[in-house]
């Protein structure tokens, strides 16, 4: 398999339970963000349920809060909204080898959330992962895995054949931030594929059945 390393100055992932007011960011991208990145790289809709597997690990150096001017639809009033974002973000995506070419020459711009969260492809590398006890993090995993963490219903993929797009598949996940403390690494530890270079476990999602 290959590992694609993406880097961005900022990243933000919409918290599904917050519709107005203060806008926090999820600690990691939902699967639908990965679908968006793969679709932009290939230049056509990509469905995660048609891939044999996909895994990802996200981390950043920290979070900040931006002030955003918003306009009410059909009105002249404006307001200021606080929006949380990650800074100095890195996303590693694990994919079958055939994804090397789309990421060497992405068809459209790649984003880590909003249109201002532009991404550069920093590295495409072939990797070998070994199964062992390792901490998982910077990703989402099925609740059946039994790891402690925040549980959210997240969109896996959208159906792009309709306007507006519709959520095609929604599943509950445990959201696991990238573990930095020893206690977090122990709490999020399980048998998994291990990336020795990053020192993290990688969960490969297989939604193709």
Per residue in 35-90, pLDDT (tens digit) is 999 999 999 999 999 999 999 999 999 999 999 887 777 777 778 888 999 999 99
| Nearest by Cα to 100 from 205, 35, 3 | 3
CA distance 126 to 180: 25
Mean pLDDT of the chain: 93
pLDDT for 50 equals 95
CA distance 147 to 49: 24
The structure tokens listed for 91 are 């996303």
Partnered with residue 95 across adjacent β-strands are 2
pLDDT of 17 > 80? The answer is no
**C-alpha neighbours within 13 Å on the C-beta side of residue 90:** 12
| Percentage with pLDDT > 70 across the chain | 98
Say what the pTM is.
Answer: 0.92
CA distance 206 to 49: 7
CA distance 144 to 173: 9
Partnered with residue 63 across adjacent β-strands are 86
pLDDT for 102 equals 97
The answer to whether the beta carbons of residues 158 and 32 sit under 8 Å apart is yes
pLDDT of 20 > 70? The answer is no
pLDDT for 78 equals 78
pLDDT of 108 > 70? The answer is yes
Per residue in 139-181, pLDDT (tens digit) is 999 999 999 999 999 999 999 888 888 999 999 999 999 999 9
Partnered with residue 37 across adjacent β-strands are none
pLDDT of 209 > 80? The answer is no
CA distance 72 to 193: 47
| Nearest by Cα to 119 from 54, 191, 18, 41 | 41
Helix ranges (H only) for 79-127 are 100-104
pLDDT for 122 equals 97
pLDDT for 121 equals 97
| Nearest by Cα to 149 from 16, 26, 22, 18 | 26
């Amino acid at each position: 398999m290959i590992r694609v390393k993406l880097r961005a100055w900022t990243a933000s992932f919409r918290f599904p339970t917050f519709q107005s007011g203060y806008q926090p960011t999820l600690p990691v991208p939902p699967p639908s963000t990965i679908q968006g990145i793969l679709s932009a790289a290939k230049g056509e809709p990509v469905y995660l349920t048609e891939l044999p597997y996909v895994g990802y690990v996200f981390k950043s150096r920290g979070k900040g809060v931006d002030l955003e001017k918003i306009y009410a639809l059909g009105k002249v009033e404006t307001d200021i909204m606080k929006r949380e974002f990650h800074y100095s973000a890195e996303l590693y995506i694990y994919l079958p080898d055939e994804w090397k070419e789309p990421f060497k020459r992405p068809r459209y711009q790649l984003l880590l959330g909003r249109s201002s969260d532009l991404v550069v492809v920093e590295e495409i590398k072939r990797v070998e992962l070994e199964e062992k006890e390792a901490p998982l993090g910077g990703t989402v995993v099925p609740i059946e895995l039994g790891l402690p963490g925040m549980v959210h219903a997240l969109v896996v993929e959208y159906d792009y054949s309709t306007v507006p797009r519709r959520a095609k598949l929604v599943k509950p996940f445990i959201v696991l931030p990238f573990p930095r403390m020893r206690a977090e690494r122990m709490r999020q530890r399980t048998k998994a594929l291990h990336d020795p270079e990053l020192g993290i476990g990688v969960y490969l999602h297989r939604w193709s059945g």
